[in-house]
Amino acid sequence: MQINGAVALVTGANRGIGRQFASQLLDRGARVYATARRPELVDLPGATVLALDITDPASVAAAAEAAPDVNLLINNAGVTTATDLVGGDLAEVRRELDTHFWGTLSVIRAFAAQLGDGAILNVLSALSWFAHPGSGAYSVAKAAEWSLTNSVRLELAAQRTLVTGLHMGAVDTDMMAGYDIPKLDPADVARQALDAIEADRIEVLADGTAVAVKASLAADPADFYFPARR
Ligand SMILES: NC(=O)c1ccc[n+]([C@@H]2O[C@H](COP(=O)([O-])OP(=O)(O)OC[C@H]3O[C@@H](n4cnc5c(N)ncnc54)[C@H](OP(=O)(O)O)[C@@H]3O)[C@@H](O)[C@H]2O)c1
């Protein structure tokens, strides 16, 4: 897919990785709908700013009506609530799934018909493929979004829409502000993903964490989760 001349829509474009996507898409010659729950927070000269809360069906329908020419959909919006599945607040578990799974799916359903031989990029995570203490709700939601990505790819193959999943470990955004660990530059993540779309690739592993976690799935899970017992 050629980004120069494409019409892109980015969810959660007001900050973090989403802002990088919108900015780099403009640099690569796309027209860009930069969407956010609070559109007044979007500061991207050259972008068309729209309100969009992906968990609100009326907001999704209004955005689809306001942007009828989109052929590149970047599903970036996400939350992390650090909620355990067994002992945590069930409302927060639901919020993770409402955002990453139901929200992403409702945006795809609203825009799919107009995408044609364009593309969808779903911003997933290495945590689609593993659990970490405290990541229960997030991992479930990202795993569901990964599975959604694979099914939507098959369902939209007849209309030749490219459906790409992006996986990575920690990225230096507000979402990871509380963690003092090595983090990817969000600009580098967006660049890798946009390069992949232009190369018609269906999966992007943006760092060594994503590569290692994916490789671990082929081994005994005890090696990954309980290495001290091996
Ligand atoms: N940071 C990481 O380490 C990392 C790693 C792997 C994957 N990811 C994924 O990367 C994506 C972007 O995350 P980020 O790191 O850029 O996080 P971030 O800086 O916290 O930004 C999250 C963005 O999503 C928006 N958002 C949340 N809920 C929304 C909703 N219901 N409707 C519309 N927008 C909504 C936020 O809007 P508000 O400003 O209104 O809250 C914000 O613009 C997410 O899908 C995340 O899961 C992040």
pLDDT in tens, 75-130: 999 999 999 999 999 999 999 999 999 999 999 999 999 999 999 999 999 999 99
What ligand 1 atom has the least distance to the C-alpha of 59?
32
Segment 189-209, tens digit of pLDDT = 999 999 999 999 999 999 999
Q: How many angstroms separate the alpha carbon of residue 76 from the centre of ligand 1?
A: 6
The token pair at 82 is 């650090």
Is residue 48 a contact partner of residue 32, using CB atoms and an 8 Å limit?
Answer: yes
Please count the other Cβ atoms lying within 10 Å of the Cβ belonging to residue 61: 12
Quick check: 110 and 68 in contact, CB under 8 A?
A: no
Where does the pLDDT of residue 228 fall: very low under 50, low under 70, confident under 90, or very high at 90 and above? Answer: confident
Which residue has its alpha carbon closest to ligand 1 atom 8? Answer: 125
Model pLDDT, residue 229: 80
User: 118: CA distance to ligand 1 center in Å?
Assistant: 23
Q: Beta-carbon neighbour count of residue 57 at 10 Å?
A: 14
Contact 28, 17 (CB under 8 A): no
Q: Which residues pair with 166 in a beta bridge?
A: 123, 204
Ligand 1 closest atom vs CA 77: 24
Whether ligand 1 lies within 6 angstroms of the CB of 55 is answered as yes
pLDDT at 106: 98
Report how far residue 146's alpha carbon sits from residue 158's, in angstroms, rounded to the nearest whole number.
20
Going by C-alpha positions, the residue among 81, 100, 101 that lies closest to residue 92 is: 81
What is the secondary structure of 46-111 as a DSSP string?
TPEEEE--TT-HHHHHHHHHH-TT--EEEE---------TTTS-HHHHHHHIIIIIIIHHHHHHHH
Atom of ligand 1 nearest to the CA of 80: 47
Name, in order, each residue with C-beta under 8 angstroms of 184's C-beta and a sequence gap of 6 or more.
168, 169, 170, 171, 172, 206, 207
Give me the residues paired with residue 49 across strands. Answer: 34
**Is the CB–ligand 1 distance for residue 12 below 6 Å?**
yes
Decide: 149 and 124 in contact? Cβ < 8 Å: yes
189 lines ligand 1 (CB under 6 A): no
Q: How much of the chain is in helix, strand and coil states, percent to nearest 5? A: 50, 15, 35
**Cα–Cα nearest to 2, from 117, 112, 110, 107:** 117
Average pLDDT of span 205-226: 97
Q: Tell me the Cα Rg of the chain.
A: 17
State the distance from the centre of ligand 1 to the C-alpha of 18, rounded, in angstroms: 7
- CA nearest ligand 1 atom 28, residue: 78
Give the lowest-confidence range in 36-40, 168-172, 226-230: 226-230
All domains in the chain, ordered by first residue: 7-229 (3.40.50.720)
Please tell me the residue having the least CA distance from ligand 1 atom 19. 16
